[in-house]
């Protein structure tokens, strides 16, 4: 037997000792009967109002096929996702209708020239009328897919907040968030960092605050960006349902 063949056989026998395991997403999204509302469309872009309880993209689990993208490509076959909203978040989403528009808009998000605001209902009464939360966000590897605040390894994350209304029985705060960065779960984590988690948050709230709402009380209120073709600055708003 040749030396090279012998090495190959030994390598094969060695590999057989290891098991290949596939991580299966066990989360199955409840059926979402709410419809996507189209707010604006031209040849390059599509603005929609996403309902809470609908995935932005279809999940790895075959039971999670329904999503914003899955629904829209039935009607707009070239639709491309420029950004995403969490499953529980409602409100404004921007999609591109061709590759050139997608490249342009993706660059704007990357360069942080897109203006975004969100409305949230937080647990308790926020003391200051407005302020900033400056707290870096990192992966929480032992608890994937959760993230965490980490000063040493986190990526910079900055959010401005302004209290719109303080509510009683129980005490809650309606807040307008203007994120300066776009980290995953940023507003959920920054709300918790303030000591006032978003009601209905199943990831970073307590069982009590999760039970205080039948959905994540977070809504994408506005988007401001340059049109990918005309370069005109455009601003859209989407009424908050709570």
pLDDT tens digits, 140-188: 999 988 999 999 999 999 999 999 999 999 999 999 999 999 999 999 9
214 to 41, 52, 156: CA distances (angstroms) = 31, 10, 31
Which residues, including other chains, have CB under 8 Å from residue 36's CB and lie 6 or more apart? 48, 49, 50, 51, 54, 68, 71, 72
Three-class secondary structure of residue 100 per DSSP: helix
Mean pLDDT of the chain: 92
| Ranges of each domain in the chain | 37-237
In the prediction, which pLDDT does 25 show?
A: 60
User: Active-site residue 111, yes or no?
Assistant: no
**Count of Cβ atoms closer than 10 Å to residue 92 Cβ:** 22
Catalytic residue, chosen from 49, 86, 111, 134, is 86
Return the CATH number of the domain spanning residue range 37-237.
3.30.2350.10
Q: 22 falls in which pLDDT band (50, 70, 90)?
A: very low
Cβ 225 vs Cβ 114: under 8 Å: yes
In the chain, what percentage of residues exceed pLDDT 70?
A: 90
Task: Look up the pTM and report it.
Answer: 0.88
């Amino acid at each position: 037997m040749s030396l090279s063949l012998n090495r190959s056989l030994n390598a094969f026998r060695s590999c057989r000792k290891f098991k290949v395991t596939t991580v299966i997403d066990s989360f199955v999204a409840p059926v979402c009967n709410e419809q996507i509302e189209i707010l604006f469309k031209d040849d390059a872009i599509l603005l929609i109002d996403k309902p809470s309880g609908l995935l932005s993209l279809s999940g790895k689990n075959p039971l999670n096929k329904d999503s914003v993208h899955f629904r829209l490509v039935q009607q707009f076959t070239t639709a491309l996702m420029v950004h995403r909203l969490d499953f529980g978040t409602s409100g404004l989403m921007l999609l591109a209708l061709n590759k050139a528009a997608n490249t342009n808009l993706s660059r704007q998000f990357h360069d942080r020239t897109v203006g975004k605001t969100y409305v949230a209902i937080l647990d308790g009464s926020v003391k200051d009328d407005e302020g900033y939360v400056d707290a870096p966000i990192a992966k929480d590897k032992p608890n994937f897919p959760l993230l965490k605040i980490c000063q040493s390894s986190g990526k910079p994350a900055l959010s401005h907040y302004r209290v719109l209304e303080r509510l009683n029985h129980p005490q809650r705060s309606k807040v307008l968030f203007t994120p300066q960065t776009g980290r995953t779960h940023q507003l959920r984590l920054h709300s918790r960092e303030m000591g006032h988690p978003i009601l209905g948050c199943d990831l970073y709230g307590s069982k009590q605050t999760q039970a205080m709402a039948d959905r994540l009380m977070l809504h994408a209120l506005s988007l401001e960006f340059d049109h990918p073709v005309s370069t005109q600055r455009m601003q859209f708003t989407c009424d908050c349902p709570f």
